[in-house]
């Protein structure tokens, strides 16, 4: 009897966690995220991940740089995760003119408004999506 209750509770926890993850990745929340300035440190990293570039200067998109994402339209929510592990490197709102650069791959990128962002993968500017529609990009490992 106790084992059955434990299984039901574990299943319920998995379902609730899955729903929370899907909502976090697809949310078009208007809640402001933490602000970042050039004077702030990039802080620690998880699992040896290189921190994204947070400089107000535009990151250089080179053929060796896996990902540069730049907001050229209205602010939008962007989620960057490590493909395969699901480790979240960024999940929040990026402001107009803000850019992030990532030096690791493989990555999965989701933008709430695909028309607001320029995505460059290994130096190649990706086609922009439609304004107001969700966009998804994959950054392969090289």
Do residues 111 and 83 make contact, with C-beta atoms less than 8 angstroms apart? no
Do residues 100 and 80 make contact, with C-beta atoms less than 8 angstroms apart? yes
Do residues 61 and 108 make contact, with C-beta atoms less than 8 angstroms apart? no
Encode pLDDT of 5-38 as tens digits: 766 666 666 675 556 555 655 554 443 333 332 3
Do residues 69 and 118 make contact, with C-beta atoms less than 8 angstroms apart? yes
Per-residue confidence (pLDDT) for residue 63, from 0 to 100: 85
Cα 21 to Cα 70: distance, rounded to the nearest angstrom:
24
Total-model pTM:
0.60
Per-residue confidence (pLDDT) for residue 1, from 0 to 100: 79
Q: Residue 68's pLDDT band (boundaries 50, 70, 90)?
A: very high
Encode pLDDT of 82-141 as tens digits: 999 999 999 999 999 999 999 999 999 999 999 999 999 999 999 999 999 999 999 999
Q: Which of 84, 124, 116 is nearest to 135 (CA)?
A: 116
Who has greater pLDDT, 49 or 68? 68
- Residue 42 reports pLDDT greater than 60: no
Per-residue confidence (pLDDT) for residue 62, from 0 to 100: 80
């Amino acid at each position: 009897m106790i084992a059955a209750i434990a299984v039901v509770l574990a299943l319920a926890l998995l379902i609730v966690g899955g729903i929370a993850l899907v909502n976090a990745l697809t949310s078009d929340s208007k809640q402001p995220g933490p602000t970042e300035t050039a004077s702030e440190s990039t802080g620690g990293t998880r699992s040896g991940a290189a921190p994204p570039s947070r400089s107000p200067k535009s990151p250089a998109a080179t053929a060796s740089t896996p990902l540069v994402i730049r907001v050229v339209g209205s602010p939008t929510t962007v989620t960057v995760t490590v493909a395969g592990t699901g480790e979240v490197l960024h999940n929040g709102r990026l402001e107009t003119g803000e850019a992030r650069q990532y030096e690791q791959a493989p990555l999965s990128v989701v933008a709430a408004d695909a028309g607001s962002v320029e995505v460059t993968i290994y130096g190649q500017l990706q086609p922009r999506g439609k304004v107001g529609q969700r966009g998804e990009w994959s950054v392969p490992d090289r």
